[in-house]
């Protein structure tokens, strides 16, 4: 029975990794439909909002006794890790390929390591230095091979790197709370607060950006619902299920499949290149992140 649950957990995490990583594909296609960054983010949040609201009601016993400090932490880190990180990521996708975006975004474990070193004095081991070096070598190979205009390439990388940095800040800031409270509950509240922030952003951008149902094409609406349902809500719940069955360490390791799945999906949906350079660079990057996320076994 345990083996069957473990297999279910592994499959859930694999599907979650692919679903999360496909987000870049739908966003690139939505840009081809002439939607702006804030329009995409707004509808992604609004469409997924009811699912998170229902989940919050379902698990209300887990948050009714939250302390005021915990509420402040969820609000602040949620805005950082969901609203700001999402906006920077979407903005960056205007300038770089989906495959490169996923690699740059996956640099967040390195930032977590650095933050933990400076904030909590956690020693960085030699294997972690080597893992980071291998991962960034793979990223450098992909970047060198990009045939985009240099200014746009650097702008896109900078925006997505900012997204990675803010998401790492979210993980570090929420670390103590994530050990005591259900991750999916925190994610749901973070998404709700982020939806409010996104709507305020849309209102500032212009009243026409707020609640007006824009005259998008049917293809654009299909992509928006896929983005919100398949690449936002579904993977969050699958990830929570997977963690409950196989643990957070194994979930993090399996999650390194994300960049590879983006590379394949981008090849089929966006006609992005998938040659020797892309496969080699992505392979090195995934290996480095895999080693970085693999916990060190104690020899005691």
Q: Decide: residue 186, CB within 10 A, 0-12 exposed, 13-18 middle, 19+ buried.
A: buried
Residue 164: its pLDDT value, please? 94
pLDDT band at 33 (very low <50, low <70, confident <90, very high): very high
The pLDDT tens digits of the residues spanning 82-120 come to 899 999 999 999 999 999 999 999 999 889 888 888 888
pLDDT band at 242 (very low <50, low <70, confident <90, very high): confident
| Under 8 Å between Cβ of 230 and 19 | yes
The pLDDT tens digits of the residues spanning 153-164 come to 889 999 999 999
* Residue-wise DSSP of 108-173: HHHHHHHHHHHHH-PPPPHHHHHHHHHHHHHHHHHHHH--S-HHHHHHHHHHHHHHHHHHHHHHHH
Mean pLDDT, rounded, of the chain: 87
Distance CA 204, CA 86 (A): 18
| Under 8 Å between Cβ of 69 and 176 | no
Distance CA 128, CA 253 (A): 14
């Amino acid at each position: 029975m345990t083996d069957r649950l473990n297999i279910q957990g592994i499959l859930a995490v694999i599907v979650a990794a692919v679903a999360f990583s496909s987000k870049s594909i739908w966003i690139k296609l939505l840009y081809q439909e002439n939607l702006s960054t804030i329009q995409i983010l707004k509808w992604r949040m609004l469409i997924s909002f009811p699912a998170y609201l229902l989940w919050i009601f379902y698990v209300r016993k887990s948050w009714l006794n939250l302390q005021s400090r915990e509420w402040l932490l969820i609000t602040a880190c949620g805005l950082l890790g969901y609203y700001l990180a999402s906006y920077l990521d979407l903005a960056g996708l205007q300038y770089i390929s989906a495959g490169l975006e996923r690699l740059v975004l996956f640099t967040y474990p390195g930032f977590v390591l650095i933050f933990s070193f400076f904030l909590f004095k956690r020693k960085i081991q030699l294997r972690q230095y080597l893992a980071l070096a291998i991962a960034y070598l793979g990223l450098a190979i992909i970047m060198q091979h990009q045939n985009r205009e240099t200014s746009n390439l650097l702008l896109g990388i900078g925006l997505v790197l900012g997204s990675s940095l803010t998401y790492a800040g979210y993980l570090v800031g929420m670390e103590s709370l994530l050990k005591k409270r259900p991750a999916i509950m925190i994610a749901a509240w973070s998404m709700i607060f982020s939806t409010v922030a996104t709507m305020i952003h849309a209102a500032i951008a212009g009243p026409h950006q707020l609640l007006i149902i824009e005259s998008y094409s049917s293809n654009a609406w299909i992509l928006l619902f896929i983005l919100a349902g398949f690449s936002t809500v579904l993977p969050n719940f699958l990830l929570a299920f997977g963690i409950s069955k196989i643990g957070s360490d194994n979930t993090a390791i399996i999650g390194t499949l994300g960049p590879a799945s983006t590379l394949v999906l981008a090849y089929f949906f966006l006609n992005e290149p998938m040659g020797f350079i892309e496969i080699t660079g992505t392979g090195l990057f995934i290996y480095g992140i895999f080693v970085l996320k693999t916990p060190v076994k104690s020899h005691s």
